[in-house]
Amino acid sequence: MKAQRGIQSVEVGGRLLLALVHEGRPMALKDLAQAAGMAPAKAHPYLVSFGKLGLIAQDESSGRYGLGPLSMQLGLISLQQSDPVRMATAQLPALAQAVGQTVGIAVWGSRGATIVRTEEGPAHVHVGMRHGTVMSLRGTASGKLFAAWLPRAAVRASDPDTPFDAAFERDLEAIRAAGIAHAVDAAVPGISALAAPVFDAAGYLVLSLTAIGPGPSFDVRDDGAPARALKACAAELSRQLGARA
């Protein structure tokens, strides 16, 4: 596809906005310019123009620059238009190819982690995930992922009989540290799964990207290629939803 022509000055000035978003705090002119890769004298005119538009606001007492009211309004409108499941569904075909297995989306329902979308992978042996299936809290990657990040009260309300013993708590802590959950021969013998979290702007776990396949041919290591593909897709969706890295 032919590359579209843009306006270079807009892209250059946009680096200042990207720097503010990345740092997540008001910044002095010198620091902001350095983060954007330009001299302060070059950055200042852009900041003046952005200030007139409301994209940037300068604190009168400290002189530091932060995001302005228009940036906040744009962010709120973007969040209102965001549908996490719709956005994730669009990524499933490419994700299934990258992982090499069947992939799906699970959301938290009244009964627990529930599959709402699926996409078959290129593998010769397919392991199906059915829409509406509620995933076991301790026996599936998706269930453990939600248990690791959701408020404990919400998790217990959906499954009051599941014990949170010391071994399970260690498992959940390992999931939070690795950023991914896996299950091997747990709910179904011979079947393995991986699940990666997608967060919203408030840091809340909104859905799980889940991959499932036959154990012998499915690499479920935390640093394996399927896990890296799942985590990369989940991180990009989280970024689009406004989550901080």
Q: Is 85 exposed, middle or buried (0-12, 13-18, 19+ CB in 10 A)?
A: middle
36 Cβ contact partners less than 8 Å away, ≥ 6 residues apart: 15, 16, 18, 19, 43
**8-79 architecture in CATH?**
Orthogonal Bundle (1.10)
How high does pLDDT run on average in the chain?
86
Beta strands in the chain (DSSP E): 56-58, 65-67, 102-109, 112-119, 181-184, 191-199, 205-214
**So what's the pLDDT on residue 187?**
62
Mean pLDDT across 104-121:
87
Is pLDDT above 50 for 1? no
Tokens of 135: 């995933």
Same fold, 8-79 and 82-240: no
Is pLDDT above 90 for 205? yes
Is pLDDT above 90 for 176? yes
Global confidence as pTM: 0.68
- Range with the lowest mean pLDDT among 30-39, 119-128, 228-237? 119-128
74 pLDDT tier (thresholds 50, 70, 90): confident
Distance between CA atoms of residues 53 and 39, nearest Å: 22
Distance between CA atoms of residues 124 and 121, nearest Å: 9
- Enumerate the domain spans of the chain: 8-79, 82-240
The yes/no answer on whether domain 82-240 falls in CATH 1.10.10.10 is no
